[in-house]
């Protein structure tokens, strides 16, 4: 049934297809919740002496931006994901950029300039509180600053989100790499990582970086993460402005999918060489087959995520990858 619905969705323009997908997922999820007699949430977070650890039942997650408002993750988790990233959420609700802002491009790629359209912290929190007891995998919140917040005050937005969500999620991803919020990528700096380290709660916290950084910048940021005991690791990568410009002559937006894989893989390899043991890498970008998933893991990613591959290939693709990865679990100490 899911394959049929997925094929039909691809007949529509990308943002309408997404809205229809959200509609069907909400119905599916409602049925799951109504027929769950009790909470099915196992304990992921384990106390181990003075430290804690978070257990991921398998290494394949859903990347940020699909469930922007944290209202679909219970349904999505049943497709076989080992964890789900929800968001990006900002303190206040915002509409994002004017439409059209999402395009399909050949081969198996997307260009988006959504601009953090989301329901804001309050509603996001309500959704999580209602649904999280029914979710059987860890949920990470991807957090960002509002468009109207200047960079000098950006840390305040991240502090509000850490504080507001700390009891509702299993970890955080700090998004400083979307190409669609003006100036956001300037926060990919050693100084801003210091601010994040000071604000981070006692939960796994990752920093998400762009594929358009050069290797020297990436190495510097890895060194800073090494010096930051509260940071668990890095998510590599967000969408690429460089590929959107070079191959599709788009001056705005970020490219995801097929062609991103090579650069994301390179970033993961550089990060693995420069991050110390115990720091975790979530590899994302152009993973659209079990072979690519395995390659990302062999280059040093501990966990992987997909977005565009899932959009093009549907739920079956998730089952295939997680089966190929033998549903191997992963334990993250923090
Ligand atoms: C339509 C769309 C919306 C996205 N929104 C977000 C977002 O809100 N926050 C974020 O960190 N990444 C966002 N991303 C980036 C993805 O999480 C992911 O990093 C990127 O698409 C590369 O993975 P992929 O090639 O598997 O799609 C978005 C991607 C797409 C295509």
123, 136, 177, 178: which one is catalytic? 178
Q: How far apart are CA 197 and CA 188, in angstroms?
A: 13
Q: Is 65 in the pocket of ligand 1 (CB under 6 A)?
A: yes
Q: How far apart are CA 163 and CA 325, in angstroms?
A: 35
Mean pLDDT of the chain: 95
Does the annotation mark 178 as catalytic?
Answer: yes
The predicted-structure confidence for 88-129, as pLDDT tens digits, reads as follows 999 999 999 999 999 999 999 999 999 999 999 999 999 999
Instruction: Give the residue, 235 or 327, on which the prediction is more confident.
Output: 235
Q: Is 209 in the pocket of ligand 1 (CB under 6 A)?
A: no
Q: Is 90 in the pocket of ligand 1 (CB under 6 A)?
A: no
Q: Is 110 in the pocket of ligand 1 (CB under 6 A)?
A: yes
Assess contact for 235 and 194: CB atoms under 8 A: no
Q: How far apart are CA 21 and CA 79, in angstroms?
A: 14
Q: How far is the CA of 285 from the CAs of 60, 65, 259, in angstroms?
A: 13, 13, 9
Question: Which pLDDT belongs to residue 311?
Answer: 96
When mean pLDDT is compared across 1-10, 219-228, 289-298, the lowest value belongs to: 1-10
Residue nearest to atom 13 of ligand 1 (CA): 65
Question: Which pLDDT belongs to residue 38?
Answer: 65
Give the confidence band of 49 by pLDDT, cuts at 50, 70, 90: confident
Give the confidence band of 41 by pLDDT, cuts at 50, 70, 90: confident
Assess contact for 269 and 237: CB atoms under 8 A: no
Specify the ligand 1 atom closest to the Cα of 309: 26
Three-state secondary structure readout of 299-331 = CCCCEEEECHHHHHHCHHHHHHHHHHCCCCCEE
Assess contact for 60 and 74: CB atoms under 8 A: no
Helices vs. strands in the chain: H and E counts, helices first: 12, 14
Q: How far apart are CA 9 and CA 21, in angstroms?
A: 7
Q: Is 82 in the pocket of ligand 1 (CB under 6 A)?
A: no
Residue nearest to atom 19 of ligand 1 (CA): 238
Mean pLDDT of 60-85: 96
Which residues lie across from 45 on neighbouring strands? 54
Assess contact for 28 and 71: CB atoms under 8 A: no
Residue 120 CB coordination number (10 Å)? 15
Q: How many residues does the chain have?
A: 334
Question: Which pLDDT belongs to residue 3?
Answer: 83
Residue nearest to atom 15 of ligand 1 (CA): 238
Question: Which pLDDT belongs to residue 244?
Answer: 98
CA of 287 to the centre of ligand 1 (A): 12
Instruction: Give the residue, 161 or 46, on which the prediction is more confident.
Output: 161
Which 3 state secondary structure label does DSSP give 234? strand
Q: Is 284 in the pocket of ligand 1 (CB under 6 A)?
A: yes
CA of 214 to the centre of ligand 1 (A): 20
Assess contact for 317 and 290: CB atoms under 8 A: no
Specify the ligand 1 atom closest to the Cα of 173: 11
Best residue among 16, 208, 239 to mutate for probing ligand 1's pocket (most ligand atoms within 8 Å of CB) is 239
Specify the ligand 1 atom closest to the Cα of 264: 22
Cβ burial 107-117 (10 Å sphere, 16+ → b, else e): ebbbbbbbbbb
Q: How many domains does the chain have?
A: 1
Question: Which pLDDT belongs to residue 48?
Answer: 75
pLDDT reading at 45 higher than 90 = no
CA of 62 to the centre of ligand 1 (A): 10
Q: Is 175 in the pocket of ligand 1 (CB under 6 A)?
A: yes
The domain of 234 spans 2-333
Q: What are phi and psi of 104, to 5 degrees?
A: -90, 140
Give the confidence band of 37 by pLDDT, cuts at 50, 70, 90: low
CA of 256 to the centre of ligand 1 (A): 7
Q: How far is the CA of 265 from the CAs of 70, 164, 211, 247, in angstroms?
A: 28, 34, 10, 19
The predicted-structure confidence for 234-258, as pLDDT tens digits, reads as follows 999 999 999 999 999 998 999 999 9
Q: How far apart are CA 182 and CA 328, in angstroms?
A: 39
The predicted-structure confidence for 272-289, as pLDDT tens digits, reads as follows 999 999 999 999 999 999
- Which residue carries 């679909």 as its tokens? 72
CATH of residue 244's domain is 3.20.20.70
Q: Is 260 in the pocket of ligand 1 (CB under 6 A)?
A: yes
Q: Is 303 in the pocket of ligand 1 (CB under 6 A)?
A: no
Specify the ligand 1 atom closest to the Cα of 288: 26
């Amino acid at each position: 049934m899911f394959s049929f619905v997925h094929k039909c969705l691809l007949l529509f323009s990308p943002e309408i297809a997404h809205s229809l997908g959200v509609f069907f997922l909400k119905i599916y999820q409602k049925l799951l919740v109504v027929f769950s007699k009790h909470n099915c949430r196992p304990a992921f977070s384990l106390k181990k002496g003075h430290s804690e650890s978070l257990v991921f039942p398998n290494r394949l997650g859903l990347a940020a931006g699909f469930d922007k408002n944290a209202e679909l993750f219970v349904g999505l988790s049943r497709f076989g994901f080992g964890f789900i990233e929800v968001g990006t959420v900002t303190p206040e609700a915002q509409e994002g950029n004017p439409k059209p802002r999402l395009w399909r491009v050949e081969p198996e790629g997307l260009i988006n300039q959504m601009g953090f359209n989301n329901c804001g912290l309050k509603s996001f929190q309500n959704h999580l509180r209602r649904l999280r007891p029914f979710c059987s995998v860890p949920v990470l919140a991807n957090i960002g600053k509002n468009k109207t917040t200047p960079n000098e005050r950006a840390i305040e937005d991240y502090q509000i989100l850490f504080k507001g969500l700390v009891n509702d999620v299993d970890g955080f991803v700090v998004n400083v790499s979307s190409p669609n919020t003006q100036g956001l990528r300037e926060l990919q700096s050693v100084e801003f990582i210091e601010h994040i380290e000071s604000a981070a709660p006692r939960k796994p916290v990752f920093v998400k970086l762009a594929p358009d950084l050069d290797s020297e910048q990436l190495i510097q940021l890895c060194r800073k993460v090494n010096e930051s005991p509260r940071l668990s690791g890095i998510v590599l990568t967000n969408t690429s402005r460089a590929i959107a410009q070079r191959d599709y002559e788009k001056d705005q937006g970020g490219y995801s999918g097929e062609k991103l894989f090579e650069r994301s893989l390179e970033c993961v390899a550089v990060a693995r060489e420069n991050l110390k043991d115990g720091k975790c890498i979530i590899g994302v970008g152009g993973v659209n087959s079990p072979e690519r998933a395995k390659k990302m893991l062999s280059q040093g990613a501990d966990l992987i995520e997909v977005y565009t591959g899932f959009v093009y290939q549907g739920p079956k693709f998730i089952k295939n990858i997680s089966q190929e990865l033998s549903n191997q679990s992963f334990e993250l100490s923090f």
